[in-house]
Amino acid sequence: MPQSLITGAYPATRLRRVRQHDWARRLVRETKPSPDDLVWGMIVHDGKEPRVSVKSMPGVDRLNVDEAAKAAVRARELGIPAIAIFPHINPARKNEGGDEAVNPEGLVPTVIQAMKAAAPEVGIACDVALDPFTSHGHDGLLSDDGYVLNDETVSVLTEQALIQARAGADIVAPSDMMDGRIGAIRTLLDEEGYDNVMILSYAAKYASAFYGPYRDAVGTASVLKGDKKTYQMDFGNTEEALREVAMDIQEGADMVMVKPGLPYLDIVQRVSSEFGVPTLVFQISGEYAQIKAAAAQGWLDEDKAIVETLSAFKRAGASGVITYFAERAAQLLGK
């Protein structure tokens, strides 16, 4: 048992003494999230409308290119280090192969360029995966019998990552859970002269019910056939998450991610303590929607829930948090 747990006995020791005043609580607080910990999860779209609200994520809008550029300026003002962008494209542009993912003039490269022109000091991270672009909503290419093909998908993903890097992305973030994609992306980026582009690997990503609102936001909910259990992880497993992380680090990941967040804090804690690499956590759409829905009913205080959940991520060892609450959180934490 650590020494700190066996020293001190009642009544000489009263742990409530340091909880008496706000100043004392602040003084002894171990974990303090700050705006520096935030990555702003942002949905962008290729339509004309500046903003289109996402029904299942109240307060989150799909932004067009101009609004996204303004949001980058807003992130800079608030001291938010980086933005992670997620695209919603016109369904007419989707096909079986997800070709729009590798269009150098597509939505994502256009948004990256606009954001970088408006606020070059803000880091831009892009999801590498095919789901927003395929007519079936899966993250990769399908075989005739509907299996998500690994190696064939990886070769498209490397091209997608290269296009993002060329457009100015600072971080490419493969969220697809194919085997071997980190090494393949690193190799291609290096060959093409993008050796300074970072890779944030969605290393331990679980097949989760909590992705529901995101699939509504990026327009895959209505098209997705089946589930993603043949590539995303089973939520019963921990050891497998550690293997995923170890392999991605070996293949060249600069940062790793655990996703979802709050129901998986045990994984965040183990990954951050066992590997000692920058470990990000994603407070995903379903976690966002839960807090929003309860707050809308008056059942909990939204601002307090934001700060508490961010503190929990930091306490578990996360270096940073991708969150749709980033704008509000930066205001709350920047005070």
**Interface pick for ligand PBG out of 133, 206, 211, 231 (rule CB under 6 A):** 211
Which residue, 60 or 197, is less far from ligand PBG as judged by CB? 60
309 binds ligand PBG (CB under 6 A): no
The 261-290 site mask, x for binding ligand PBG (CB under 6 A), equals -----------------------xx-----
**Interface pick for ligand PBG out of 111, 124, 129, 330 (rule CB under 6 A):** 129
From the list 45-53, 117-125, 210-218, 238-246, the region that binds ligand PBG by CB under 6 A is: 210-218
Binders of ligand PBG: how many residues, by CB under 6 A? 12
From the list 46-54, 61-69, 208-216, 309-317, the region that binds ligand PBG by CB under 6 A is: 208-216
Burial 150-180 (b: 16+ CB within 10 A, else e): beebbebbbbbbbbbbbbbbbbbbbbbbbee
From the list 28-36, 123-131, 161-169, 296-304, the region that binds ligand PBG by CB under 6 A is: 123-131
Asked if 111 and 44 touch (Cβ cutoff 8 Å), the reply is: yes
Cα separation of 181 and 157, whole Å?
A: 7
Asked if 132 and 88 touch (Cβ cutoff 8 Å), the reply is: yes
Q: If 0-12 CB within 10 Å is exposed, 13-18 middle and 19+ buried, where does residue 281 land?
A: buried
Which residue, 61 or 139, is less far from ligand PBG as judged by CB? 139
CA atoms within 13 A on the CB side of 248: 34
131 binds ligand PBG (CB under 6 A): yes
CB of 129 to ligand PBG, least distance (A): 3
List C-alpha distances in Å: 295 to 120, 240, 312.
35, 35, 19
Site for ligand PBG in 169-198 (CB under 6 A): 175-176
Cα separation of 136 and 94, whole Å?
A: 9
CB of 211 to ligand PBG, least distance (A): 4
Cα separation of 177 and 258, whole Å?
A: 12
* Contact residues: ligand PBG, CB under 6 A: 127, 129, 131, 139, 175-176, 211, 214-215, 228, 284-285
